[in-house]
Structure 1
Amino acid sequence: MWAMTMLSEPQFSRHRIELMKPVSLIYIIDDIFDVYGTLDELMLFTEAIKRWDIASIDLLPSHMKICCMALHNITNEIAYFVYKEHRWNPIDSLRRAWGELCDAFLVEARWYASGHIPKPEEYLKSAVISSAMHMLCVNIFFLLGEQITKESIDYLEGHPTIISSPAMILRLLDDLGKVKDGNQEGFDGSYLECYLKENPNSSVENAKKHMKGMILDAWKRLNKECLSSPEPFSRRFAQSSLNGARLVRTMYDYDGHFPENQVNSLLYN
């Protein structure tokens, strides 16, 4: 649904195909950090991604090697597509975005492994990146190929409001839907837990109310960006970001799962 929503215009059929490749990898890498790697393995994995050196994957388990190879191949394919379409090589920006995403995943893996509950501000700083909205938007920016300049790339890599706001909406709505398993130990990865530790006199309901207020503020910032001139980005890129936030809202109206009739309505009506 991400590709269909964020690149919805008919002429972007090939772009949607390309976008689904990193989308799929985001879910796979997220699972590696959540389930399929020890902390030591995850540190090696993150370093291999950041170095972007095939030779550095030799020490990784086989499933991580396969993932690294797929990441290299897919990123090179997208870079080639962008260069062919728009005469700009985005490989350095794409590599940095993947490295940054894995860094954020690793920070959260360390919190979970140690049982550390971060301060709410510390959590959000990482969570806005680990939501992967920035990773999605970087790919979309280059796939669209509109207003690509050094200035716009520098601005893009600085996590501007037009990206950080939908990222915050995604993470906070996801966290509102989380219910901690009573048998789980350590940090469960939600803003709610961070907020309650920082504010022990607050009730769960008041904490949720606070989070909903933060989501509303993020929507206001995003709407302001999209209604004003989105410079240095194009209107179409701003619309993609807005549509991503709209999809998040729709997803969590159904607890993260679309009923079949809702999918059919979105696609065909």
Structure 2
Amino acid sequence: MLTTANAAKARILIYSATRDFRHDSIPTAIEALKAKQDAINAQFDNTEDQTQFTDDNLSGFDTILFLSTTGEVLDQAGKDAFQKYLDLGGTFVGIHSASDTLRNTTFYINELGALFDYHPVLQNFTVDVVDTTHPSTSMLPVIWNVQDEAYNFKSDPRGIGATVILAANESSYIDTGVHQNQGTPHPLAWFQEKGAGVESGGVAGRSFYTSLGHLNETWHARGISWVLSGNTTRAFNSSGLVGNAQSDISGSAQSNSNAPSKTGSTSSTSTTGNSQPANSQVS
């Protein structure tokens, strides 16, 4: 939970557009996240409209969260706005098939950490908590039994500077596929203190990714809290270039000459977007 004394309520944009496989759990996941927003002093907005990815709109959010997105969910204008947002200190959270998204967009892959390769069938398996001290994992048992999809990745996220905090115990489940070089232990969730998707000269905010898709709202909310507490956005740092510039909890206004004329027009009700499912390897 965030404890920053002068923190305003953080604004988080959930983006759940899909162009390939679509998870039926998306609406449930959105509601579960929103149920936790007061606990982390945040406001969740959600959309599937790629036209919301503009400089002006994104500048009002402290975190952009890709929830089970798949495929080419942004046009070039949206990608450019997202890149600029990250360069200005914006933060990022990816959940589940966010790693099967924008597969040819280098800055996104770096900000995320690694792309999805394949997964074996849904089954029970054991998750090893690699780092029990991180705020997102401190409430978890060292050995965590889950029913989920044990994602495999096309590269090792540690190669771009990510720190793995959850790993799949490969002896606890059946996987007949051929792994690519994703490193050891088998990564399932990781973080970046400074997201690698930022261009040279930019202000790198935090990035967090989890491949686990059957939503555990406490685990996910704590990961989001950790990303926000990097203090690179306006909700926690009046010098931030993006984020919510509302008054702090003591009631005094935070001023920032870079504040946008509007803080985002995204509705709190999800739009349908272009979400027709197509053949995909994710499920």
Structure (1/2) with the larger helix percentage: 1
TM-score between the two structures when normalised by the length of structure 2: 0.28
Give the number of the structure with larger relative contact order, counting CA–CA contacts within 8 Å between residues 6 or more apart.
2
Q: Which structure carries more strand by proportion?
A: 2
CA radius of gyration, larger in: 1
- TM-score of the two chains, using structure 1 as the length reference: 0.29
